[in-house]
């Protein structure tokens, strides 16, 4: 009976681990300051994953709804709130890759890789072998 219980527990755990998804709302944390920057909503379109900024955490002295003036693509001059910053991510095992992420502050687009670590999301933007990784936290309103 103990063996059967252990097997059932393993099956339940493996199903719940495989059911984890990046879809949802995430609080972005600045890897340089440690402060919250925004809320990003990640969603699925077909077999790809996208993310848009739905809220910014700004100091009162900063513009509350700025535009991306440094962007160089179709997002140039567009409002950051509502902006799609993650594009065309594809699930590959436990990771999401082959897409891009935009840093609206710098206006730069980077290759991107995303994976779950427990209840946090690891988001890595990179060019060749140079990269930065942020830890995003699950966000509930």
Q: Which domains does the chain have, with CATH numbers?
A: 22-138 (2.40.128.520)
- pLDDT value at residue 76: 97
Residue 39, pLDDT above cutoff 90: yes
pTM of the model as a whole: 0.84
Q: Nearest-CA neighbor of 96 among 16, 18, 22, 15?
A: 22
Mean pLDDT of 20-25: 95
Tokens 């709302």 belong to which residue? 25
**Does the pLDDT of residue 74 top 60, yes or no?**
yes
Average pLDDT score, the chain: 89
Q: How far apart are CA 88 and CA 47, in angstroms?
A: 9
The contacts found for 105-108 with CB under 8 angstroms, 24 or more apart, are 105/70, 106/70, 107/68, 107/69, 107/70, 107/71, 107/72, 107/76, 108/70
CA distance 108 to 105: 8
How is residue 78 written in tokens? 């567009």
**DSSP codes of every residue in 67-86:** B-SS--STTTT-BSTT-EEE
* pLDDT confidence of residue 116: 98
Answer for the pair 77, 69: CB distance below 8 angstroms, yes or no: yes
Mean of pLDDT values over 23-32: 92
Query: Confidence class of residue 8 from pLDDT cuts 50, 70 and 90?
Result: very low
pLDDT tens digits for 92-111? 999 999 999 999 999 999 99
Phi, psi angles (nearest 5°) of residue 16: -70, -35
**pLDDT beyond 50 at 14:** no
Residue length, the chain? Answer: 141
């Amino acid at each position: 009976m103990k063996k059967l219980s252990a097997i059932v527990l393993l099956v339940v755990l493996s199903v719940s681990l495989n059911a984890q998804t990046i879809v949802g709302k995430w609080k972005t944390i600045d890897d340089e300051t440690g402060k919250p920057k925004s809320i990003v909503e990640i969603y699925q379109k077909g077999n790809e994953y996208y993310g848009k900024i739905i809220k910014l955490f700004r100091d009162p002295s900063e513009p509350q709804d700025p535009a991306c003036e440094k962007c160089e693509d179709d997002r140039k001059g567009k409002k950051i709130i509502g902006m799609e910053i993650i594009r065309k991510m594809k699930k590959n095992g436990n990771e999401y890759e082959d897409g891009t992420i935009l840093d609206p502050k710098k206006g730069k687009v980077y290759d991107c890789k995303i994976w779950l670590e427990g209840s946090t999301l690891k988001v890595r933007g990179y060019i060749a072998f140079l990269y930065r990784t942020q830890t995003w936290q699950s966000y509930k309103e």
